[in-house]
Amino acid sequence: MNVALTRAKRFLLVVGDSATLGAEPFYQAFLQYAQDVEGWLSAWDDDAPPFSAD
């Protein structure tokens, strides 16, 4: 997973359950980083933008 996270140059999409991933310290730190840089989106949020395949 380290390679996948560090090689992304323009866009990184991580799909997973934050409650499950957050149980592991590595992923918990990653989730905290994403939240700190405002890169966190949840499909369950009411204000999440609609998906577009464009």
What pLDDT is recorded for position 54? 61
Q: Can you give the pLDDT at residue 51?
A: 67
pLDDT digits (tens, 9 = 90+) for 5-41: 778 788 777 888 888 888 999 889 988 888 888 677 7
Per-residue tokens: 29: 């730190």
Q: Report the pLDDT value the prediction gives residue 49, as an integer from 0 to 100.
A: 66
Q: Which structure tokens are listed for 33?
A: 């980083």
Q: How much is the pTM?
A: 0.61
Cα-atom radius of gyration of the chain, to the nearest Å?
A: 12
Q: What pLDDT does residue 31 have?
A: 85
Q: Is the dihedral of CA 13, 35, 49, 45 positive or negative?
A: positive
d(CA 54, CA 46): 22
